[in-house]
Amino acid sequence: MTTKLAPLSERPSWKALQAHHDTIQATTLKQLFADDPARGERLTAEAAGIFLDYSKNRVTDETLGLLTKLAEESGLAERINAMFTGEKINITENRAVLHVALRAPKSESIVVDGEDVVPPVHAVLDKMAGFADRVRSGDWKGHTGKRIRNVVNIGIGGSDLGPVMAYEALKHYTQRDLTFRFVSNVDGTDFAEAVQDLNADETLFLVASKTFTTLETMTNAHSARDWSLAGLGGDEKAVAKHFVAISTNAKEVAKFGIDTANMFEFWDWVGGRYSMDSAIGLSTMVAIGSDNFRAMLDGFHEMDVHFRTTPFEKNLPVLMGLLTVWYTDFFDAQTVAILPYEQYLKRFPAYLQQLTMESNGKHITLDGEHVTTQTGPIYWGEPGTNGQHSFYQLIHQGTRLIPCDFIGFYKTLNPLGRHHDILMANVFAQAEALAFGKTAEQVKAEGTADWLVPHRVFEGNRPSNVLLADHLTPKVLGSLIALYEHAVFTQGTIWSIDSFDQWGVELGKVLAQKIIGELEGTDGAASTHDTSTTNLINRYKKNK
């Protein structure tokens, strides 16, 4: 059990950081670099194939010392240990938080409620591998005896964002004679467009849902069942060959009509947004093969070990988590931009949005009190260089401080003339421009008219991290995701919030259920709402 902590703003290191912030606020990155010729090499760290340059942050050694002190005073070491040993740290749901067990080697043992969870993890991985091999080789046949050509993952939130991100990220490694589609939105267009060019006799649906009760997923799964049976002559037996389930809820899977022999299990100690390396990653495994999937798990695990064993001042997730707390709470930064300079990572910012914001978008502490500081910032981003031609203007010259994470690779998977050098030159140029800017003197020296000078000045002093790795492999992807998972955990620990529940999504779900009845006419005319909602519902009903 973790000991009760002083409220965040009363911790000595927090108070010291407040005083320190006053002194550092006016210090520029330019000055910090001028004062320390070794800064660019010194403020770096490396683990699990990922190099982090955090030198372009508005920190001194004193800042970093105080931030690591804050981590210590916030009980981070104890919390890490509690997570890795299966303590029920998700207190509002009374659950262990063990996504780290999903990538634990066979030799490890992690006991929850008297059961070692590592053997079942590997049993499911083996079952997934057997299934993936059969689909990839053409051995798994559809109802009419044809081999499967199309795999459609149906899921939403963590049961979609991880799979779709990983599919896109690892496309280079996928079996190209298989088509993959991802259906998540309850908007019928999503399903209709996903299957419009597919044949039912060659199409396999993976219904991915931790609970197997999620409205969107169940609605899409039922439509998929209808579509599949319509294309296969209506024989119910076809379901066994064209549907598999990924869930923790065998009862609901059976109720839907999927044989539980075709179910891939995971466990309540895997949060939805932490589940892409569980059976929820089945589409990933079918796409890239089981060896590549296992390599991805190795990458996750390497970062887990680093997080668990490395002193805070050299610990990548801890450093990144603490820097986010620094900007969120002391510089009033409201967002973090995720800027991958790797086209394959185009869905990475969207994936991180759920990971970060569903985890740390909370205002009640573990002790049930209202927080006294800001918590989870807004994460957003687009792959470079596209963003440079749309929103970077605001990062460079807007009024808000936006810490940025640049992600780049030494090598590209698609060497093409000068492309990769040009791409990477932009990473270094953007981080340099944000940090050091361009003074009025420099602008004037270029012969700029006086009135135009202020418009062309770059103040600089805008912080960023640069993350570099060799090239995008399944292993590096695993390490990168684990890096952010643990950075989120570090933030949540400092803020003393439960990063693993998501009660904030419930109210809308309940209200939608009620309104569905009203829209479909089974619940009478809308009347029990506020006048705006009632009016909107009635207007929709009249015009639909």
Which residues, 177 to 236, sit near ligand F6P by CB under 6 A? 209-211, 214, 217
Q: Which position among 122, 363, 471, 509 bears the catalytic label?
A: 509
Tell me if residue 61 falls in helix, strand or coil.
helix
Dmax over CA atoms of the chain, in Å, equals 79
**Interface mask toward ligand F6P for 133-172; x: CB under 6 A:** -----------------------xxxx-------------
**Interface mask toward ligand F6P for 51-90; x: CB under 6 A:** ----------------------------------------
Active site residue 389: yes
Nearest residue to ligand F6P, by Cβ distance, number only: 272
What is the CB-side half-sphere exposure of residue 393 using CA atoms within 13 A?
A: 5
Total chain residues near ligand F6P (CB under 6 A): 14
- In the complex with ligand F6P, the residue whose CB is nearer, 55 or 220, is 220
Residue with tokens 């963003």: 387
Based on the number of CB atoms within 10 Å of its own CB, is 99 exposed (0-12), middle (13-18) or buried (19 or more)?
Answer: buried
Tell me if residue 357 falls in helix, strand or coil.
helix
- In the complex with ligand F6P, the residue whose CB is nearer, 74 or 214, is 214
Residue with tokens 């470079």: 384
Q: Find the shortest distance in angstroms from Cβ 307 to ligand F6P.
A: 22
Q: Find the shortest distance in angstroms from Cβ 359 to ligand F6P.
A: 10
Active site residue 509: yes
Q: Find the shortest distance in angstroms from Cβ 290 to ligand F6P.
A: 23
Does 273 sit near ligand F6P (CB under 6 A)?
yes
Alpha-carbon gap, residue 376 to 325, rounded angstroms: 9
Q: Which position among 237, 389, 542, 544 bears the catalytic label?
A: 389
Q: Find the shortest distance in angstroms from Cβ 160 to ligand F6P.
A: 8
Which residues, 457 to 516, sit near ligand F6P by CB under 6 A? 502, 505
Q: Find the shortest distance in angstroms from Cβ 207 to ligand F6P.
A: 9
What is the CB-side half-sphere exposure of residue 150 using CA atoms within 13 A?
A: 17
- In the complex with ligand F6P, the residue whose CB is nearer, 159 or 292, is 159
Q: Find the shortest distance in angstroms from Cβ 540 to ligand F6P.
A: 23
Helix or strand run (H / E) with residue 476: helix 474-495
How does 137-157 read in b/e, with b if 16+ C-beta sit within 10 Å?
Answer: eeebebbeeebbbbbbbbbbb
Active site residue 15: no
Rounded alpha-carbon distances, angstroms, from residue 513 to 99, 508, 516: 31, 9, 5
- In the complex with ligand F6P, the residue whose CB is nearer, 156 or 443, is 156
Which residues, 505 to 534, sit near ligand F6P by CB under 6 A? 505
Among 142, 272, 321, 403, binds ligand F6P (CB under 6 A): 272
Does 278 sit near ligand F6P (CB under 6 A)?
no
- In the complex with ligand F6P, the residue whose CB is nearer, 5 or 186, is 186
Which residues, 348 to 377, sit near ligand F6P by CB under 6 A? 358
- Two tokens, residue 185: 């939105």
- In the complex with ligand F6P, the residue whose CB is nearer, 326 or 489, is 489
Which residues, 12 to 41, sit near ligand F6P by CB under 6 A? none
* Count, residues in the chain: 544
- In the complex with ligand F6P, the residue whose CB is nearer, 220 or 491, is 220
Based on the number of CB atoms within 10 Å of its own CB, is 454 exposed (0-12), middle (13-18) or buried (19 or more)?
Answer: exposed
- In the complex with ligand F6P, the residue whose CB is nearer, 74 or 502, is 502
- Two tokens, residue 263: 């179910």
Q: Find the shortest distance in angstroms from Cβ 489 to ligand F6P.
A: 16
Q: Which position among 358, 382, 485, 518 bears the catalytic label?
A: 358
Alpha-carbon gap, residue 287 to 277, rounded angstroms: 14
Alpha-carbon gap, residue 148 to 241, rounded angstroms: 10
- Two tokens, residue 156: 């939403």
Alpha-carbon gap, residue 309 to 230, rounded angstroms: 55
DSSP conformation class of 519 = H
Residue with tokens 């591998």: 129
Cα-to-chain-centroid distance, residue 349: 7
Cα-to-chain-centroid distance, residue 191: 24
Q: Find the shortest distance in angstroms from Cβ 184 to ligand F6P.
A: 9
- In the complex with ligand F6P, the residue whose CB is nearer, 163 or 408, is 163
* Closest listed residue to residue 102, CA positions, set 279, 331, 251: 279
Concatenated DSSP letters of 66-81: HHHHHHHHTTHHHHHH
Q: Are 156 and 219 in contact (CB under 8 A)?
A: no
**Interface mask toward ligand F6P for 99-138; x: CB under 6 A:** ----------------------------------------
| Chain contacts with ligand F6P (rule: CB under 6 A) | 156-159, 209-211, 214, 217, 272-273, 358, 502, 505
Q: What positions carry a catalytic annotation?
A: 358, 389, 509
